Amino acid sequence: MTQTKQFGPLTRLLMNDAAGRKLLLVLVLMAVFIPLSNLLLPEGSFFHVSTYTMTLLGKYLCYALLAIAVDLIWGYCGILSLGHGAFFALGGYAMGMYLMRQIGDRGVYGNPELPDFMVFLNWTELPWYWLGFDQFWFAMLMVLLAPGILAFVFGALAFRSRVTGVYLSIITQALTYALLLAFFRNDMGFGGNNGLTDFKDILGYSLQSDNTRAVLFVASVLALILGYLISRFIVTSKLGRVLVAIRDSESRARFLGYRVEHYKLFVFVVSSMLAGVAGALYVPQVGIINPGEFAPINSIEIIIWVAVGGRGTLFGAVIGAMLVNYAKTYFTGAFAELWLFMLGGLFVLTTLYLPKGVVGLWAQLKEKYQQKKYQAEAEDNPPALNTETQSKAAPEQQDKLNFVQGEKV
């Protein structure tokens, strides 16, 4: 997708996506007004957005991009990855390594080459995998490549041997768990338990200044918009149709002659790169990256953002990420004890009552209304044979059928 061609596809992408258009509009407005009000308006003003709020919003935007990445594979291809936090964290570490090298000799030990924790561990030179991270372009390349390569290798292995469903979920969880344990080790050379922190500046601009924060915020918005458009491009393309077919019936798609594993692998790698970018934007705004980001619970939380927002709708994922994280910020501050109850309750309630999330609630109500109308019509005409046989199936089976039907976009 080059810049010059963007006008044509852009209209095509957003043609049938009213909600997406609104979302993008809001995002563009945010990108313009929030930094302006932060930088130009005086602090006492009603419309002034504090740097804290802006950074917090920037953090949510990164989460939203991550949610889109997960929605792309789970909502459209049925791959429930319980380890997507790993790709997010890898992107974050790549960025963190660049920021670490930028500290230079301003660290506690004043070593121009080595980050503090390496001096502390009595290392004498940079390990080979830290080379090149003093260059911004190289670090950015790694933000894409590190998660991408891991996803490629892992996905190629898993999809080729047809590891699907819960098995895949469990081994993705094992993957992020293994990485969690690995990054906790000091010998790994990624700062161990403490991770990477005490960043000073990015591309020569201080991370503490409001200007840099504003730029980072705008970058996050742009990344989210770009991520949305890329995902939208994928799901509206012919390839996207195949993905949905794979989600709904993998064997059938395979029997029709599609190389299912190739499609899955492609979308898995793209999704991991999006997650990596989200992580890379997250780290300079939060100021730290540590192995805790690999914790399996983090990856599962991403799933709940998507589920709450509405699986299988890209803007739903964005809304879900924003909503749940706002609730998290609010409740962990106000009633710390209640937060896990709430989060747990969210999992149970959304899966039981909101299979299509907040976004789907409206559609669900509309569908119910239409069904009533349809039933009223059906009483005049005899119902189709197909629905007859379905209603006689075992209750569990029926549940499944209903779900598959309800899932189609």
Partner 1 sequence: MFTLFRRVFFAVLLLSASHNLLANNADTQPSLTELSQQLISANYKEKAALADQIALIEDDQTIVILQALLDSRLYYVKSNGQLLLVDSSGEPDSAQDAFTLQAVTGLGKRDIKKIGVNNSLRVALRSLISRAQISSKHKSQRMAAAQNLLKSSDDIDRAFIDQALQRETDNSVAEVLHLVRALMQLKADQTEERIEGLTALDGALYPEVRAGLSEFIRSFSDEEKLSRKNEYQLAQTTLTDIEKLVSINGYIENLYFGLALGAVLLLAAIGLAITFGVMGVINMAHGEMIMLGAYTTYVVQLLMPEHIGLSLVVAVPAAFLVSGLVGVLIERGVIRHLYGRPLETLLATFGISLILQQAVRSIFSPLNREVATPEWMAGTFMINPALELTWNRLYIIIFSLMVLALLALVLKRTLFGLQMRAVTMNRPMASSMGIKTGWVDALTFGLGSGIAGIAGVALSQLTNVGPNLGQAYIIDSFMVVVFGGVGNLWGTLVGAMTLGVANKIFEPLAGAVLAKIMVLVFIILFIQKRPRGLFALKGRAVDNG
Q: Which residues bind partner 1 (CB under 8 A)?
A: 80, 154, 157-158, 160-167, 169-171, 173-175, 177-178, 181-182, 184-185, 249-251, 296, 300, 303-304, 307, 337, 340-341, 343-348, 350-352, 355, 394, 396-397, 399-400, 403
CB of 233 or CB of 347, closer to partner 1 = 347
Least CB distance to partner 1 at residue 101 (A): 26
3-state secondary structure 76-128: HHCCCCCCHHHHHHHHHHHHHHHHHHHHHHHCCCCCCCCCHHHHHCCCCCCCH
Least CB distance to partner 1 at residue 307 (A): 6
Least CB distance to partner 1 at residue 153 (A): 10
CB of 95 or CB of 150, closer to partner 1 = 150
| Residue 66 to residue 130: CA distance in whole angstroms | 25
Q: Which of 4, 14, 26 lies closest to 232, judged by CA?
A: 14
CB of 292 or CB of 355, closer to partner 1 = 355
Q: DSSP secondary structure string, 244-292?
A: HHHHH-HHHHHHTT--HHHHHHHHHHHHHHHHHHHHHHHHHHH-EE-GG
**Token pair for residue 131?**
């080379």
CB of 325 or CB of 350, closer to partner 1 = 350
Least CB distance to partner 1 at residue 409 (A): 17
**Token pair for residue 347?**
């999992």
| Residue 292 to residue 108: CA distance in whole angstroms | 24
CB of 377 or CB of 396, closer to partner 1 = 396
Give Cα 266 to chain centroid, integer Å.
Answer: 16
Least CB distance to partner 1 at residue 365 (A): 20
Whether the CB-CB separation of 149 and 157 falls below 8 Å is answered with no
CB of 116 or CB of 250, closer to partner 1 = 250
Least CB distance to partner 1 at residue 156 (A): 10
